[in-house]
């Protein structure tokens, strides 16, 4: 149990840089491992999820060296991955397990992928079913599609033509990793546009992929070459400080070097629509990153639905908190994917923010939130979900003299181990 930080009248101020992007960090290890030659990664995210990916690729026999400011991988292609005798443990990371299935679909040996209690409740059939079409064979019956998953890949993967039933960058990426190893042309059609880091990185590593709207075409097999990756700051981590600055009076902050690729910036569009003061400066079109300046604002409720949802899917818990402080009602729809994240985030946001005084109606695929409600202190829990933990810490800044205590705050280290220290810096408080 942790007593959460409170805000004083001074608000948040100063300049901060958030840690590297989680999605790009995972993928830089994966691409570095399957490419040929040297890959150097700068600003890699040293947090639990990405460290699991790093550890697993070491267990697969990949040479990964760490220096003070870089990770250096010597890749020898897909064919030189060696499956160990033990199960590979992804911890809490959905990205690791799903993308890994696509990579290992091209390996002949049997492998078991497992993870923590949360992972053992997250659906994998969305990846298994299309990969089976490409040639993957389940080595153990698994009707419910929950990890542990034991399967055997094949060196003769077939290409796929697949219309995705869910909007998921993880499923799309797993299929692209398999398609890179298959002989022939694969065609994947997305339900909605989702984060496109995998497509961008295939090109950065010298591969070819054609993207036309929601349709992605890739002809395999392809041989990728190692490169240098500079990971930008994670907008999904910056989101918590963006919200804190918007909500706590007298705040004005600058968050430097945030990744701002279009498929990830739904939060910025939402904040603007809610009337929040946020601006981008020093945008670098090559790295697709820039600085964000955010200040305290009076917000108004809006409706968030449709194609924007995948562009802000991980930000919905913190957007829900913004909505509790906005004037009028906010409705979030088309976000049923929240039910299968680290926890059921619709349920968790509803229960925990309601404990603090929010007025929320959970919907099958979203949330209806009344504003503007005064929040009070209490004991809340993270459900071992990093984004829930960080959202509740920002809520704790709004309860005045009362105190909020958080159960299982350690979950936050999944994506942002220095979160409390960085927040304390912005608040002008010394972290104990
Ligand atoms: O591909 C990725 O890196 C991610 C995709 C999203 O998941 P889904 O593909 O399940 O939507 C997102 O929620 C997750 O945090 C990271
Ligand atoms: C859903 C998330 O990650 P993952 O699916 O990789 O566990 C997240 O970071 O919010």
Please state the pTM of the whole predicted model: 0.98
Interface ipTM: 0.99
Mutate to test the pocket of ligand 1, among 20, 195, 234, 267 (most ligand atoms within 8 A of CB): 195
Pairing of strands 137-138, 404-407: unpaired
**CATH number at 22-230:** 3.65.10.10
- For 350, counting Cβ atoms within 10 Å of its Cβ (0-12 exposed, 13-18 middle, 19+ buried), the class is buried
Q: Give the SS3 label for residue 280.
A: strand
Give tens-digit pLDDT for 266-294: 999 999 999 999 999 999 999 999 999 99
Residue 431 has pLDDT above 70, yes or no: no
Structure confidence by residue, pLDDT tens digits, 356-374: 999 999 999 999 999 999 9
For 102-140, give one letter per residue: b (16+ CB within 10 A) or e.
bbbbbbeeebbbbbbebbeebbbebbbebbeebbbeeee
> Which ligand is the nearest neighbour of the Cα of 336?
1
Rounded CA gap, 227 and 114, in Å? Answer: 30
Q: Which two tokens stand for residue 83?
A: 């499956």
Q: What is the pLDDT of residue 430?
A: 74
Q: Could you give the strand order of the β-sheet that contains 366-371, starting from the edge strand earlier in sequence?
A: 303-304, 328-332, 366-371, 359-363
Q: For 113-151, write each residue's pLDDT tens digit.
A: 999 999 999 999 999 999 999 999 999 989 899 999 999
Task: Kindly state which CATH superfamily the domain 2-18+232-426 is placed in.
Answer: Enolpyruvate transferase domain (3.65.10.10)
Q: Which atom of ligand 1 is nearest to the CA of 310?
A: 11
Under the banding of pLDDT at 50, 70 and 90, the label for residue 185 is very high
Quick check: 174 pLDDT over 80? yes
Under 8 Å between Cβ of 75 and 226? yes
* Domain residue extents for the chain: 2-18+232-426, 22-230
Q: Which ligand is nearest to the CA of 387?
A: 2
Mean pLDDT score across all residues of the chain: 97
- 2-18+232-426 shares its CATH topology with 22-230: yes
Active site residue 284: no
Ligand 1 centre to CA of 22 (Å) is 10
Marked catalytic residue, from 21, 48, 49, 314: 314
Beta bridge partners of 173: none
The CB of 27 under 6 Å from ligand 1? The reply is no
- Cα 91 to ligand 2 centre (Å): 11
How far is 422 from 413, CA to CA, in rounded Å?
13
Beta carbons within 8 Å of 299's beta carbon, 6+ residues apart: 246, 274, 275, 276, 322, 325, 326, 327, 371
* Separation between Cα atoms, residue 191 and residue 45, nearest integer Å: 29
């Amino acid at each position: 149990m942790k007593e959460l930080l409170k805000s004083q009248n001074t608000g948040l101020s100063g300049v901060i840089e958030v840690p590297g992007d989680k999605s790009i960090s995972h993928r830089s290890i994966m691409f570095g491992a399957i490419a040929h030659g040297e890959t150097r990664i700068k600003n890699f995210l040293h947090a639990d999820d990405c460290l699991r990916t790093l550890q697993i690729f070491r267990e697969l026999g990949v040479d990964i060296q760490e220096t003070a400011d870089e990770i250096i991988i010597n890749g020898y292609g897909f064919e030189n991955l060696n499956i160990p005798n033990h199960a590979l443990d992804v911890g809490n990371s959905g990205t690791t397990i799903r993308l890994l299935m696509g990579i290992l679909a091209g390996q002949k040996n049997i492998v078991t992928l497992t993870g923590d209690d949360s992972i053992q409740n997250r659906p994998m059939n969305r990846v298994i079913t299309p990969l089976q079409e490409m040639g993957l064979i389940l080595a153990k019956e698994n009707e419910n599609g929950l990890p542990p998953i034991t399967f055997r890949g094949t060196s003769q993967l077939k290409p796929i033509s697949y219309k995705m039933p869910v909007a998921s960058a993880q499923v799309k990426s797993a299929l692209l990793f398999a398609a890179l190893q298959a002989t022939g042309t694969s065609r994947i059609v997305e339900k909605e546009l989702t984060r496109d880091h995998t497509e961008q990185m295939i090109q950065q590593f010298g591969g070819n992929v054609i993207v036309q709207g929601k349709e992605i075409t890739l002809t395999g097999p392809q041989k990728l070459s190692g490169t240098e990756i500079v990971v930008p700051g994670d907008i999904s981590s910056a989101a918590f400080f963006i919200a804190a600055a918007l909500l706590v009076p007298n705040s004005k902050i600058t968050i430097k070097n945030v990744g701002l690729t279009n498929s990830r910036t739904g939060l910025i569009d939402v904040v603007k629509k809610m009337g929040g003061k946020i601006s981008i400066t020093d945008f670098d079109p090559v790295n697709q990153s820039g600085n964000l300046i955010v200040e305290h604002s009076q917000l108004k409720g809006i409706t968030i639905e449709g194609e924007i949802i995948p562009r802000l899917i991980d930000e919905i818990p913190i957007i829900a908190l913004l909505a509790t402080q906005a004037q009028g009602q906010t409705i979030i729809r088309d976000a049923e994917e929240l039910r299968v994240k680290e926890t059921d985030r619709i349920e968790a946001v509803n229960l925990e923010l309601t404990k603090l005084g929010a007025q929320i109606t959970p919907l099958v695929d979203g949330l209806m939130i009344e504003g503007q409600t005064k929040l009070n202190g209490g004991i809340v829990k993270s459900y071992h979900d990093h984004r829930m933990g960080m959202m509740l810490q920002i809520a704790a800044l709004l309860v005045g003299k009362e105190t909020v205590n958080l159960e299982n705050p350690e979950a936050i280290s999944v994506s942002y181990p220095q979160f409390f220290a960085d927040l304390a810096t912005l608040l002008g408080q010394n972290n104990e």
